[in-house]
Amino acid sequence: MEPDLHGHQQQRVHSVVIITLPPSDDPSKGKTISAYTLTDLDYPPEIHPEDERNPSFQPDPLHQQSGLWYSDLAMSSPRLVLGLLGVSLLAIAFYGSVFPNTIQMFSVSEERDRDDDSLRETTSFVFPVYHKLRAREVPYRNLAEVLSIVENGIVESIDQELVNPVKVNNLLSASASSSTIFPSNGNVYPDGLYFTRILLGSPEDGHYFHLDIDTGSDLTWIQCDAPCTSCAKGANQLYKPRKDMLVKSNEHLCVEVQRNQVAEHCESCEQCDYEIEYADRSSSMGVLAKDELHLKLHNGSLAELDIVFGCGYDQQGLLLNTLLKTDGILGLSRAKISLPSQLASRGVISNVVGHCFASDLNGEGFIFMGSDLVPSHGMTWVPMLHHSHLEVYQMQVAKMSYGNGMLSLVGENGRVGKVLFDTGSSYTYFPNKAYSQLVTSLQEVSGLELTRDETDKTLPICWQAKFLISSLSDVKRFFRPITFQIGSKWWIISGKLLIQPEDYLIISNKGNVCLGILDGSSVHDGSTIILGDISMRGHMIVYDNVKSRIGWMKSDCVRPRESDHN
């Protein structure tokens, strides 16, 4: 170190940064940051006359008083200041580990201060997500963590749309290449469904509703106080329609909904009634209504447009159990009444739907509508098989196997089968013959440290291990993958969908491993393979209604991969 040429005492400079965090129960108050530079000398810095005439910064009295206090403290005991600084840093680190979402929130809110143009270029719309078991008490969750939108990505809550919504009539700000993202949450067991939430209603009285994601349903419907004849408690309050919101019986979407119903269409009726019966004999009855749906498109456009949905005032059967955690069903099928079809008909998006449910226990993931989030590479594509009277998503399968053993397909001449993708089903269903063959093949599992447990009624077949099962990784070595071959029986030129053991097994509350593939003799037409949530986890699956194809790829479902062009 060079000597002091002017004969003054050597100065040691210390920098102190004070970060004040908001209370954990009210992070909206923001944080404050104060920085100070301190020296070990006990005399004030020299002030030149010209500095007094042209001060560069004049702190307000509050900051000035605070600065003098810290300065006096530092001059009297610099070691004490450094000790306090160390304690403060440890406190901040501890706070960050306990409340990471609050810390993350600051980075998101600070990004909002940037130029509005850059905000428009990087914003993606994300719906907030509630876990079903705590739908009424949800701590703040940083939405950037859900989809890992970290770099150049600003997350805006849909609540902001209620402040300055943009009514989309001619949809000049949107295009058919736009997409919208809906984060999802849920699990196969014990809850048995995946859900998202939407914001419905005018800016003055809009409400959120949690909806069960169902690619096998046409109509989106919400429990409704019209008044309600039979409704479950639900995750949120009942939807209350006004009379001017009811859809007339002569509107084309009413005709679409009623064409497959037992009751004949009534052209003279003032309202449009609907009645839906599901495979488990549950049902929903109500009227069609029209209200504003709030969306933030992937290209930055805000959309507030009217959609037609069901106002369900009479729900029956097992459906009432599901409605303890949700408010209704989000219909995503190919039908004209489905939400993606309505958005596509208005020119908001192209008619493409995708979903990705994480395979871990957190059960997070996302769904999207539109084509610009479809991966341009890595997807396996197969033709979409059209049904004669159902607007469902299905494909043809040429061969099915468990390990090296073949499983029978029930189809034309017993040579081809059909696979239906249904997010409304928790489990996967095989036709009776294939199911029986699979159960026979699984007898080899017994004796390999696993034995059948007839007392576990979680699912029809469960095994008890001779060791503690903490995850499916502990037992998957005893099972083999299931393979669907599509397009051709020749392995080289065919596509395939591989279902690993963790994609058809669950761990019950008794700690056993259970088979999540069930006998589908009485489901659908009895000859179709129903691919449920359990076998679609860990995959991004896309239904392209424009090109009439279905595609999939393995994914951790943390964030969507933005497409180039398909």
Nearest to 371 by CA among 346, 348, 338, 337: 348
pLDDT < 50 positions in the chain: 1-11, 13, 27-29, 31, 35-37, 39, 41-76, 95-175, 413, 492, 564-566
Q: Over the stretch 81-106, which tens digit does the pLDDT of each residue have?
A: 566 666 666 655 554 444 443 333 33
CB 222 within 8 A of CB 327: yes
**Distance in angstroms (rounded) separating the CA atoms of residues 517 and 472:** 15
- Can you say how many angstroms the Cα of residue 439 is from the centroid of all Cα atoms in its chain? 34
Q: Which pTM value belongs to this model?
A: 0.71
Q: Over the stretch 504-531, which tens digit does the pLDDT of each residue have?
A: 999 999 999 999 999 999 888 889 999 9
For residue 488, the model assigns a pLDDT of 58
Q: Over the stretch 190-202, which tens digit does the pLDDT of each residue have?
A: 889 999 999 999 8
Structure tokens belonging to residue 383: 């033709």
CB 513 within 8 A of CB 521: no
Residue 360 among the catalytic residues: no
Nearest to 294 by CA among 425, 182, 436: 182
Domains and CATH numbers, the chain: 13-98 (no CATH), 125-369 (2.40.70.10), 380-554 (2.40.70.10)
Residue 422 among the catalytic residues: yes
Set 218, 273, 291, 422: catalytic member: 422
Beta-bridge partners for 291: 307
Q: How many helices (H) and strands (E) does the chain have?
A: 11, 30
H-helix or E-strand spanning residue 496: strand 495-499
**Distance in angstroms (rounded) separating the CA atoms of residues 195 and 550:** 22
Nearest to 500 by CA among 518, 487, 523, 484: 484
Q: Name the average pLDDT for the chain.
A: 75
CB atoms within 10 A of CB 266: 14
CB atoms within 10 A of CB 182: 23
For residue 167, the model assigns a pLDDT of 41
Beta-bridge partners for 198: 209
For residue 372, the model assigns a pLDDT of 87
Preceding peptide of 227 cis, ω within 30°? yes
Amino acid letter at 310? G
H-helix or E-strand spanning residue 440: helix 432-441
Give the SS3 label for residue 179. Answer: coil
Set 214, 273, 503, 533: catalytic member: 214
